């Protein structure tokens, strides 16, 4: 099971809590998937009313909570949101998002590093949402991050792993750093592929919440993650350029 900042979590599936048809379906998705972490936006929480009911629902899931700074487009906004989240949710974990482009929702690498350094110095355990850039990864590690969260594709697109080469390179460049594929996954097969590459976990929301049957899709992702983990540990055969017969040539009938 993955370990983040010295804490082992029960599953490599990190599941978001937005956009579900109902609270009951959200709870059922978590139950059937066995998700190890729930990600929550501060904007879903309030002092009373519906916000309080939602927060009670999250507590009842009985899994660690990873607040995020979703929707923040500046360092200042992200830092302020992180401090508010620490007070509300009672955790020093924070998924750090500093969005640089309104259409692609691509992270701002410069703001991300700056915010990560400030928050780490203030005692936060930062989970930075980033692109699959090895230089950016190094800067974030230098800033104090101990976990990296490269995107699979832009948030909510369902494209999957749009740049497998860069992701494999990033994984190989930092083999001992816990890494989570965050965003852009649409199918359980995408999650399995991420685990086969050696990533430690995946984080997703839209692919489950917007499915026709969110709870069934959440369970499907959990099964795919297990398959991907098992395949990675089984040491899969490398791809070949040429065909190689699986049936031995020795012992074949000789036709005169």
201 is in an annotated binding site: no
Is 184 annotated as contributing to ligand binding?
yes
- Report strand pairing: 7-8 vs 3-4: antiparallel
Q: Do the annotations mark residue 183 as ligand-binding?
A: yes
Please say whether the beta carbons of 25 and 32 come within 8 A. no
Q: Alpha-carbon distance 72 to 96, whole Å?
A: 9
Identify the residue whose tokens are 């005692």. 123
Please tell me whether 163 is known to bind a ligand: no
Contact, 79 vs 119, CB < 8 A? yes
Rounded CA-CA distance 101/79 in Å is 18
Assigned token pair, 251: 């012992």
Q: Widest CA span of the chain, in angstroms?
A: 88
Does residue 210 carry a catalytic annotation? no
81 is in an annotated binding site: no
Rounded to the nearest 10°, the torsion over CA 110, 115, 121, 127 is -100
Q: Which residues are catalytic?
A: 95
Residues flagged as binding site for 1-deoxy-D-xylulose 5-phosphate: 156, 183-184, 205-206
């Amino acid at each position: 099971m993955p370990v983040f900042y010295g804490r082992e979590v029960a599953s490599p599936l990190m599941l978001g809590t937005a956009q579900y048809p109902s609270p009951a379906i959200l709870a059922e998705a978590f139950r059937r998937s066995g998700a190890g972490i729930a990600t929550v936006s501060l904007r879903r929480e309030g002092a009373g009313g519906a916000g309080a009911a939602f927060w009670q629902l999250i507590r009842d899931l009985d899994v660690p909570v990873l607040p995020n700074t979703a929707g923040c487009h500046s360092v200042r906004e992200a830092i302020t949101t992180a401090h508010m989240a620490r007070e509300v949710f009672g955790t020093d974990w924070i998924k750090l998002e500093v969005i640089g482009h309104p259409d692609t929702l691509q992270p701002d690498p410069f703001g991300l590093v700056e915010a990560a350094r400030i928050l780490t110095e203030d005692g936060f355990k930062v989970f930075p949402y980033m692109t699959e850039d090895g230089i950016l990864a190094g800067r974030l590690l230098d800033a104090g991050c101990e976990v990296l969260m490269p995107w699979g594709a832009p948030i909510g697109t369902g494209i999957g792993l749009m740049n497998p080469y860069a992701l494999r390179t990033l994984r190989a460049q930092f083999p001992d750093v816990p890494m989570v594929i965050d965003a852009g996954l649409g199918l359980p097969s995408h999650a399995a592929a991420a685990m086969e590459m050696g990533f430690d976990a995946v984080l997703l929301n839209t692919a489950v919440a917007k499915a026709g049957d969110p709870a069934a899709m959440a369970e499907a992702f959990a099964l795919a993650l297990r398959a991907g983990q098992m395949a990675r540990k089984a040491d899969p055969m490398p791809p070949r350029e040429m065909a190689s017969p699986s049936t031995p040539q020795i012992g074949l009938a000789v036709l005169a």
